[in-house]
Amino acid sequence: MLPNMWLRRIIRWARRSPADWLYQHGPPATLSLPLSWPLFIIGFIFLEVLYTQTPLLPLESPPARIIQLLVFLVLFLLLLTMILRWQRLSLRAIGLLSPHWIREVLVGLTVSILLILFVMINNTINGSPPWFGWASTLSSSQRAWWILELATRAIVAGIIEEALFRGWVTTFLLTRLTRRELALWISAVIFGLVHLDQGLKGIAITTVFGYFWGLLYIWRKNLTPTIAVHTLYNFCLWLGLFGRFPP
């Protein structure tokens, strides 16, 4: 009798998707973005085109380029806020402006460290150790500005992509679809397809990471940890901790 009871429990647990399990074992909050399908699609296309197609000025000064990136981030968030305000919503509807941001940053940092160590060890074993050849071509002051600009790019990309793909897309699909797992995979595939310039392998890898960040978002129910993980991962990737980039 006892083995049968445990077997039923194991089968019941196995049938539950990771998304459902994490959603139920995270903070007591609800993810909801009550928009119509046309507004969701138009808003996504507008924000995606704004993010990917807006030309930045070819400035020569690193401080000027950093300021330009930060101004672009502020403008993007202002436009996103206006769209949400039009529907009487706030940035909290898409997981931004968390009231417990310190706790969530710590969660994001913990996940980031584990992920970065895993990728570094895996890539090193597979013949792609950390590479810092870029440092030999720059002076000490140039290296400092280059790293600062790289960090700024990682922060801007992390905030915008998480707000757009996890905040806008994933939250809307979770609101509209009955199956959370399906919502996460659709969002991850969209995230992967946006990175067409990286080829089929890049699309596949980005899709998997999109699903992983979606699980983190659905667990914590806000974007602070996913922004932290996304930002730190991109920064380490561009810095060369995962091997030469671009390969």
pLDDT tens-digit map of 186-223: 999 999 999 988 889 989 999 999 999 999 999 999 99
Instruction: Name which residue leads in pLDDT, 69 or 16.
Output: 69
For residue 223, the one-letter residue type is: L
DSSP H or E run through 173:
helix 171-176
DSSP-derived letter for residue 94 is G
Closest CA to 95 of 17, 187, 186, 21: 187
Q: State how far the Cα of 145 lies from the Cα of 157, in Å rounded to an integer.
A: 18
Q: Quickly tell me which residue has 């046309």 as its tokens.
A: 38
Closest CA to 161 of 206, 103, 104, 202: 206
* Least confident span in 87-101, 102-116, 210-224, 227-241: 87-101
Contacts of 239 (CB under 8 A, 6+ apart): 132, 147, 150
User: Is the pTM for the entire model greater than 0.85?
Assistant: yes
Q: Each residue of 121-146: pLDDT tens digit?
A: 999 999 999 998 888 888 888 899 99
